[in-house]
Amino acid sequence: MSWSTLSREHSQADRRLLEILRQGLTKEFPNPDRIGCPRPTLLRDIARRRVPLEEVKPWLDHLGSCSPCYQDFTEFRKQISSQRRKLQLSLAAAAVFLFAFAGLLWEHTRPAVKTTATVILDLRERSVLRGQSPTETELPPLEIPRSAKHLVMELPIGSREGVYEVALLDSSDKANTPDGQIVLLSTTGTAQLENHTMFLRADVDLGRISPGTYLLGMRQPGLEWTRFPIRVL
């Protein structure tokens, strides 16, 4: 006998068993002395479908004429159904937990993606006259995000090629350094003429700078600072 045939016969027996048990067996066939009843363990195994088909058949007639057995069988089926639901919920919760844990693990172990934020600053119309405070200009401060990693500055007309010191300066005028400035961040860059515009490129790291208003300073060796108001966002 093939497995598919056996499975069909088992399903047919299950349907027959259910049809018999649904025929008002709860109270119509009392059996207080439990005469001829199968062992509770056997009845439980039948409800769990752990008993071979050939062993179930001899009990079909009894189960169809014994209300206590029907009641026990029904209770076993309810318990089995409840256990299955709890197991399914537990498996679903475990799956959700595993997915969440895997996501967190991947987030913490994946290779860091290096991002370079390039900011272009147009300083061509922001020349500061000698003796004039940068804060006296009518133009609003330049803006630069703290995520910036690379600055490309278009220098004012007349600027020279060569190496520049680029710095973020304190704008509070409380400096006591020789040149009158507190340098919060300093780097260097090289200015080059490209298509009639002088470009100065420099790498920066503003991660430790608090948002606020500062001065962007730049100078060539031996010269004074040229300063521009700038707001770090």
Q: How far is CA 2 from CA 8, 14, 120, 188, 215, in A?
A: 10, 18, 78, 84, 88
Strand 162-169 relative to strand 183-194, pairing: antiparallel
Residue spans of the chain under pLDDT 70:
1-27, 106-116, 127-138, 172-180
Look at residue 131 in the predicted model and tell me its pLDDT: 45
**Structural domain boundaries in the chain:** 3-108, 117-232
Q: What is the pLDDT of residues 27-71, one digit of tens each?
A: 677 778 888 888 888 888 887 778 787 777 778 778 777 888 878
Look at residue 150 in the predicted model and tell me its pLDDT: 92
**Per CATH, is 117-232 categorized as 2.60.40?**
yes
Look at residue 177 in the predicted model and tell me its pLDDT: 47
Look at residue 125 in the predicted model and tell me its pLDDT: 81
Look at residue 157 in the predicted model and tell me its pLDDT: 84
Look at residue 227 in the predicted model and tell me its pLDDT: 86
Look at residue 113 in the predicted model and tell me its pLDDT: 46
Instruction: Say how far apart CA 228 and CA 144 lie, in whole Å.
Output: 12
Give the tokens for residue 102.
Answer: 């895997």
The model carries a pTM of 0.47
